[in-house]
Structure formats: structure tokens, C-alpha cells
Amino acid sequence: MKIKAIALNTFKEAVRNKIFYLLIFFGIFFSFSSKLISILTIGDTLKILKDIGLASINFFSVIIAVFTGINLVYKEIEKKTVYFILSKPVERRDFILGKFLGLALTILVALTIMISFFSIFILLFSGTFDPYILLYFIFLFTELLIVISISILFSSFSTPILSSIFTIILYLIGHVIWTFNEFKYKFINPIEKIFAYSIYYLFPNLEKFNIKGAIVMNDPINIKIIFSTLAYGIFYVSAILLISIHIFKHREF
């Protein structure tokens, strides 16, 4: 009940902020503007619409996840509203979990709005509903859960500016880390090999969640890959939340 109260309060804070709606508006606007760009390019219009539209939704949902995540937790500490919560019989673990779930709900709502508009847009254009967009929605949401857990981790001990930088850097690393997996066989020196393996397994491989290419090209997606990717996301989120809880438990206010 306490986690639910903190989560709903976090959600309330996010949705009572006008910037939240502005970012959703831009997400929808840019995904619709893919129609305009498709006129200027040569190729399959539907593919271009999906490619640019989903990329826009991805970009704005990441912005919402990073900045809402960082601000909401840090603001609790900076504005000392954390005193209000922690002076009640509330475990610090519940505070972090409540914040995470509240942010997850915020992202879920934002993503649902953007994806719904985009799905209707594609339906009107092509006359068919693409079920893979739903899969894209689930994958992107899981990826964003990793992003918000990272933002909570950093904001539990750092300032918003540093947390934003760290989270964005980790997000970018997460999208290129797969290259370490490709190159690790080329390392002959055992130390270099261990280093490459460590880096690959330590950082989140966010590219696993990027199925935009498959959707645009209408490639089939293996059911095993779907479940293993989702399990990977859940494992990673759980690990980061455990670290955040550990740090937050030892923090003094």
C-alpha cells in the first residue's frame, strides 16, 4: 500500500507538469511528420513512415524517461520532501520501488498515447494494423524501464546534471555495446579478453530491444528472442534497483 501511495504520487507529480504533455505532443507531431519526409524521399513510403515515426516516439520517450526520472528523485532530496516520506513508517526500499513504479506508470501512459496515435496513423495510411508495433511498444517500454532504473540509481547519489550526463552516456553505450560481443573473439591477450567480456556483460545491451529494423523490413522475430530479451530486461532492472536500494539505505539526509 505504501509503495502504491508513493507510486501514484510520483505519477501525479509527472502528469501535473506541463512539460510531460509537451513532450508527448512533440512525439506525436514528429511521428506524423514522417509523412512529410516520406514525400521528399525515394522508396517504400510505409517503411519510411514506420522508420521515422517509431524513431520519433523512441527519442521523445527516452527524453521523458531520463529527465522525469532524474528530476523526480533528486527533487525529493533537494526540496527535502523526502523528510515527509521517510519520517513516516516507510522503508527506504519502498521509497525507491514506489518511485520506480510511479515513473514506469508515467512512461507507460506516455508511450501508450504516442503508440496509439501512431498505430491509427499507420492504419489510416495502409489500411491494416501492424501487430509488430505492439511488440515494438513492449520492447521499447522494457528498454525505458532500464533507462529509468539507471536514472534513479544516479539520482540517488548525484546531482541532476551529472545524473543526466551519466544516464545519457550509459544509454548511448547501451546501444553500441553489442560491438564488444562481435570483437571479443579478436582479443588474444587474456586480460584484454576479460576486459571486453566484463564491459559487455556489465553495461546494458539496449540494442537488444531495438526491433525497428525488423518491423520496417517486415522480418519475422523469433519467439525465443522475444522472451530472452524481456527476461534480460527484467534481470537488469532488478539488479540496478537492488543497487539503488542499497545506496539509498545508507544515505543520510
Partner 1 sequence: MNALEIKDLSKSFRSNFLYKKTTILKNVNINVKKGTIYGFLGLNGAGKTTTIKCILGLIKPDHGTIRLFGEEAEKVSSRASIGFLSESPYYYDYLNAKETLALSGKLSSLSNKKINERSAKIISLVGLEGKENLLLKKYSKGMLQRIGLGQALINDPDFIILDEPFSGLDPIGRKELRDIILSLKAEGKTVFFSSHILQDMELIVDDIGILRNGKITKEGKLKDMVKKSIKNPVSYSLEDLFLKEITK
Query: Minimal CA–CA distance to 67: which of 148, 1, 131, 5?
Result: 148
Which C-beta is closer to partner 1: that of 91 or that of 219?
Answer: 91
Which C-beta is closer to partner 1: that of 16 or that of 186?
Answer: 16
Task: By CB under 8 A, tell whether 158 contacts partner 1.
Answer: no
Q: Is 48 in contact with 127 (CB distance < 8 Å)?
A: no
State the minimum distance, in angstroms, from the CB of residue 110 to partner 1.
18
Which span (1-9, 39-47, 223-231, 237-245) binds partner 1, by CB under 8 A? 1-9
Q: Over the range 143-157, which residues count as b (16 or more CB within 10 Å of their CB) and which as e?
A: bbbbbbbbbbbbbbe
DSSP letter string over 49-104? HHHHHHHHHHHHHHHHHHHHHHHHHHHHHHTTHHHHHHTSS--HHHHHHHHHHHHH
Which C-beta is closer to partner 1: that of 6 or that of 211?
Answer: 6
Q: Over the range 40-78, which residues count as b (16 or more CB within 10 Å of their CB) and which as e?
A: eeeeeebebbbbbbbebbbebbbebbbbbbbbbbbebbe
Task: By CB under 8 A, tell whether 246 contacts partner 1.
Answer: no
Query: Which 190-209 residues touch partner 1, going by CB under 8 A?
Result: none
Count of residues in the chain: 253
Task: By CB under 8 A, tell whether 2 contacts partner 1.
Answer: yes
Task: By CB under 8 A, tell whether 89 contacts partner 1.
Answer: yes
One of 63, 90, 105, 226 touching partner 1 (CB under 8 A): 90
Which span (5-13, 138-146, 157-165, 184-192) binds partner 1, by CB under 8 A? 5-13
Q: x-or-dash pattern for partner 1, window 10-39, by CB under 8 A?
A: --xx--xx----------------------
> Which residues in this chain contact partner 1 in the complex, by CB under 8 A?
1-2, 4-6, 9, 12-13, 16-17, 79-91, 252-253
